[in-house]
Amino acid sequence: MITLLKSATIIDTHSKYHNQTKDILIVDGIIKEINDIISQKENYQIVELPDLKVSTGWFDSSVSFGEPGYEERETLNNGLDTAAKSGFTSVAVNANTQPVIDNKSAVEYLINKATFKATDIYPIGALTQQSKGVEMAELYDMQQSGAVAFGDYKKPIENDNLMKIALLYAQNFNGLVMSFPKNNAIAGEGVANEGVNATILGLKGIPALAEEIQVARDLFLLEYTDGKLHIPTISTAKSVKLIKEAKKKGLQVTCSVAIHNLLLNDEELHGFDAKVKVNPPLRTKEDVKAIQKAVKEGVIDIITSDHNPIDVEEKKVEFSIAKDGTIGLESAFSALNTIFDIDIITKCISENPRKIFGLPSLKINEGETASLSLFTTEGDYIFSEKNIFSNSKNSIFLNRKLKGKAYGIYNNKQLVLN
């Protein structure tokens, strides 16, 4: 199949065509020609869309699909289709399945199930067996089978020595260790950010300290082991400060933030809507401001949707017992486009995550493999259920005003448009 993208504005700071509007001819998955005007032929698949922009393929570093074990939340097939329609050419899939992805066979199962899909799948293996935090999982074997990192999704490693050993052991094969930033003893039974709003509403609070003390511990262990660490989904101003200082010291630490923690604060708690119950919780306006600044300064490396489908039975219940999590793939770009310029967005959802997770870099130049996200930055709209492709509908951004949208992707010699 020969595909021709007409009048596409190229967003790629590493390409000589950056910010230029060109026609792009793709032949058998390779960018054959980039020019002002490329004449159409009958056998061409033509893509001509309003305000079409293309960037190197987006990579979401934290996505949960239910399969295996929780197919009622989401299947791999529909999940990957959702990612493609949302503009993502690659997703890193968390190990929170049943059984947990903690061995090479489980990693290979995910990869094999995704064969022939437009969106690539990269498993994150569990750091500990069954994500129970007791014994380390088969990290090396999982990496040899295709795992790109190791972490227990939303489960902190409470055993300090276990985290130390993991950071040391992973150095033998350049493995990336992930540590969820939460101290359960301090967080206790909290369900929302500890602060004025939780107090007014009578909700048990999760102090910012619960995150920050875990970040501090992990950074001390990182300095001791001289290892490589990724801290997913930070949410407080002090966490930013700690990580910034660690980077200045030269420690190999990277971090991410979930999109909802970038845009929303704990004032959303009023109304007791379980859609806004996430982990880490929505923090204060001051935290949100600090997190946004950290993205612009490059202290925070990656932005993730932290896509986590939850079935209605576990969300449409009393706030305090509702399950944490929100889907986010479908709203990811449109939400980010309300606060950041396109160069920051593409750096944090394409360039940086690929580098950190050890994937080859991408470029939009003639002769390069075509792995492209297609989108527009124009047009406001209200995000509603008709914009959701996931089986689960638990979106924190439902009924919110967003801007621009993903059109789809070209990847693996396939064009997917929503």
327 within 8 A of 393, measured Cβ to Cβ: yes
Q: Which residue, 401, 410, 412, is CA-closest to 54?
A: 410
Q: Give the closest residue to 211 by CA, choosing from 227, 187, 190, 228.
A: 187
d(CA 313, CA 39): 54
Alpha helices in 114-207 (DSSP H): 139-145, 160-170, 184-187, 196-201
Q: How far apart are CA 227 and CA 212, in angstroms?
A: 20
Q: How many residues does the chain have?
A: 418
Q: Which two tokens stand for residue 150?
A: 């190791």
Angle at 1 between CA 376 and CA 91, to 5 degrees: 50
The residues, any chain, with a CB within 8 Å of residue 39's CB and separated by 6 or more, are none
383-397 b/e with 16+ CB inside 10 Å = b?
A: beeebbbbbbebbbb
Residue 153's CB is within 10 A of a number of other CB atoms, namely 22
Whole-angstrom distance, CA of residue 59 vs CA of residue 297: 20
Collapsing DSSP to helix, strand or coil, 161 comes out as: helix
CB atoms inside a 10 Å sphere around CB 115 = 8
Q: Which residue has the tokens 């102090």?
A: 207
What are the backbone angles phi and psi of residue 127, rounded to the nearest 5°? -75, -35
Give the number of other CB atoms < 10 A from CB of residue 172.
9
- ω into residue 309 within 30 of 0, thus cis? no
Of 306, 311, 324, 341, catalytic: 306
DSSP letter for 32, please: E
- 181 cis-preceded (ω within 30 degrees of 0): no
R_g of the chain computed on alpha carbons? 21
Active site residue 306: yes
| Catalytic positions | 306
